[in-house]
Amino acid sequence: MSRAATCRVSVTVNGRAHTVRVPAATTLLALLRAHLGLTGTKDGCGVGECGACTVLLDGEAILACLVLAPEVDGCAVTTIEHARDARLQRLRRAFADEAALQCGFCTPGMILAAARLPAGATPATIRAGLAGNLCRCTGYTKIVRAVRRAGRRRGPAR
Amino acid sequence: MPDLPAFAYTRPCDLAAAMAAIARPGACIYAGGTDLLVALAERRPWVRFVRQLVDVKDIAEAKGLRERDARLRIGALVTADELASHRLVRRHARVLAEAAEQTSAPALRRRGTVGGNVCSPHPAGDITAALLALDAMVEVADGTATREIPLGDFMQAQAEQWPRQQLILAVTVGRCRRSTFSKVGIRPAFSRSLVAVGVVVTDDGLRIALGGLRDRPFVSAAVAASVARTGGLEAALAAECRPPTDGLVSDTYRLRLAATLVRRAVARVGRR
């Protein structure tokens, strides 16, 4: 019953290659947090309803709680910890400057969901792009403002 | 986070290998995972049998979207996001593009597939309702043969007994010049439709599919025929629908909402 119950997964996370052996029934979220120690990606609802675990998988913003670890073998994942990604740097800076977070739990997911929006996105486009990310503190206005600010900035952050 | 029950994982590289894998006891087809992983995490009864996930994302026959014999063949692995933005869908099956762009939330639309929508439709399944309005056919691999079944019949068979040993390869729809989709949920993103309506103008008149008003989406000729008669729509909806009263809204509310959405959708296709 438990044949091939563990899988070897080679994945590049934030530019760094990892190879781990995990149970097949491991989500990408658990792979990141428990196996690779990258706890910046937040574990919210675990069933695709809050957006807190949003990461980039081969450049696309997806929910890490609804992807299996064996599926990401050979893929590239970007999380909030990526230090050298210029777009993430600008977004992190803009969220701080606009005070677009309170408890901060939704922030990594918000930033990764915003990372793939076009730089000149209108507030309506930003809201549509972040529609799957819940925030229980700030009420979204400052978040939208921060994403716009990050889009306006050119070049790397200060 | 709820943890997943233990299961094995396999990713067959072609259709023959996939058919062999899904024939094994405890095997379950896995594509976008947006429904299945939640069901597994929440230990829903219908996934108790699952011992192995068969990831079908490499099956060439289930990929891509193209024109074939004046119809669109939409691979089962096409995502909601791809449906919403695809040129051919927007031009020839707009009801489907509009349903796809309004369903769920962005990150889920990048993963959820047409095949998954068809094989585990919610009562208000937006994409399924749009496909029903388009009179879609389902292309299914069953053993070594491939056959095409009308979507309505396929859903009926699914509801009676889930045939686990067949794999949806694609849905096909005829091209239509005028169609639209209309829905209302508690909020625009991320919430199941209270009522969903798909309207297609055919050579014989309107074809209307309704979601959220029975245990699964359905096509109603009576509702389509009633649109032109004064007061006829409300009577037809009341006769055709068995809307639930739930924690969100009452059955009466759903019926009135349905009448409003049908009228709006019909007016909109009239302007196209």
A48 and A90 belong to one structural domain: no
What is the least distance, in Å, from the CA of B95 to any CA of chain A? 20
Report the sign of the C-alpha dihedral through residues B256, B258, B263, B265, in that order: positive
Of B101, B113, B117, nearest in space to B189 by CA: B101
At A120, the amino acid letter reads G
Token code pair at residue B4: 């997943």
Structurally, chain A folds into a number of domains equal to: 2
A9 and A71 belong to one structural domain: yes
A73 and A100 belong to one structural domain: no
Indicate yes or no: CB of A63 within 8 angstroms of CB of B37: no
Interface residue B55 vs chain A (CB under 8 A): yes
Pairwise CA distance, residues B217 & B122, whole Å = 8
B174-195 average pLDDT score: 90
Is the residue at A123 inside a domain?
Answer: yes
Interface residue B1 vs chain A (CB under 8 A): yes
Is the residue at A32 inside a domain?
Answer: yes
Domain coverage including residue A36: 3-78
A71 and A103 belong to one structural domain: no
Contacts of B11 in chain A (CB under 8 A): 70-71
A98-108 average pLDDT score: 96
Q: What CA–CA distances, in Å, run from B54 to A30, B59, B64, B201, B237?
A: 21, 11, 20, 39, 41
Crossing angle for the helix pair A141-152 and A86-97, to the nearest 10 degrees: 130
- Among the partner-chain residues B2, B3, B6, the one whose CB lies closest to the CB of A2 is B6
Is the residue at A158 inside a domain?
Answer: no
pLDDT one-digit tens code per residue, B71-109 = 999 999 999 999 999 999 999 999 999 999 999 999 999
Interface residue B3 vs chain A (CB under 8 A): yes
Residue A157 clears pLDDT 50, i.e. is over it = no
Residue B243 clears pLDDT 90, i.e. is over it = yes
B243-269 average pLDDT score: 95
A7 and A74 belong to one structural domain: yes
Is the residue at A145 inside a domain?
Answer: yes
Q: How many CB pairs under 8 A join A and B?
A: 102
Residue A158 clears pLDDT 60, i.e. is over it = no
Token code pair at residue B190: 């991320």
CATH number of the domain that residue A94 is part of: 1.10.150.120
Q: Which residue has the tokens 């009452």?
A: B250
Is the residue at A137 inside a domain?
Answer: yes
Interface residue B51 vs chain A (CB under 8 A): yes
ipTM for the predicted complex: 0.93
| pLDDT at position A24 | 97
CATH number of the domain that residue A24 is part of: 3.10.20.30
pLDDT one-digit tens code per residue, B36-83 = 999 999 999 989 999 999 999 999 999 999 999 899 999 999 999 999
A25 and A59 belong to one structural domain: yes
Q: Of A78, A110, A125, which residue is a domain's last?
A: A78
Is the residue at A136 inside a domain?
Answer: yes
A104-131 average pLDDT score: 96
A103 and A62 belong to one structural domain: no
E-strand ranges in chain B read 8-10, 27-30, 52-55, 65-68, 71-75, 137-142, 145-150, 166-174, 179-185, 193-202, 205-211, 218-219
| pLDDT at position B124 | 77
| pLDDT at position B159 | 80
> Model's pTM, two decimal places?
0.94
A90-113 average pLDDT score: 97
Q: Of A25, A60, A78, which residue is a domain's last?
A: A78
